[in-house]
Amino acid sequence: MRYALLINVDEALFGKMSKEEGEAVMSAYMAYGDRYKDKIAGGDALQRVETATTVRVRDGKTQTTDGPFAETKEQLGGFYIVNCDNLDEAVELASHIPDAVRGSIEVRPIMEFNQA
């Protein structure tokens, strides 16, 4: 089964890191990718939250708002799509994502649609 591992972390933390700390985080992500390359089907880091645009359609009219859809301390910073046998395995992979110690990782099963 496929799962989305959604990485939520306070972006402000990265601005407070030294160059060495930032490089250590990136190195940890590279190591994570190498360790689980047989399970990772995709994923990427996202640009900072201020580059986001939220789209809503109300009464047939498209509305756009700068920024994310909710005011929270943590922002969606990236994601992985992984192939796991079950939720327990997906949780295990999520627990090794470097930012799990600074933020949270949401594990979501991906809807599988039959294409006929």
Rounded to two decimals, what is the model's pTM?
0.86
What superfamily in CATH does domain 2-109 come from? Dimeric alpha+beta barrel (3.30.70.1060)
Domain ranges of the chain: 2-109
* DSSP-assigned beta bridge partners for residue 53: 66
Report d(CA 51, CA 68) in Å as an integer.
9
Cβ neighbours of 2 (radius 10 Å): 15
pLDDT digit string (tens) for 66-111?
876 555 678 889 999 999 999 999 999 999 999 999 899 999 999 9
Residue 34 pLDDT > 80, yes or no?
A: yes
Contact in structure between 77 and 5 (CB atoms under 8 Å): no
What is the three-class DSSP state of 114? coil
Q: State which amino acid sits at residue 14.
A: F
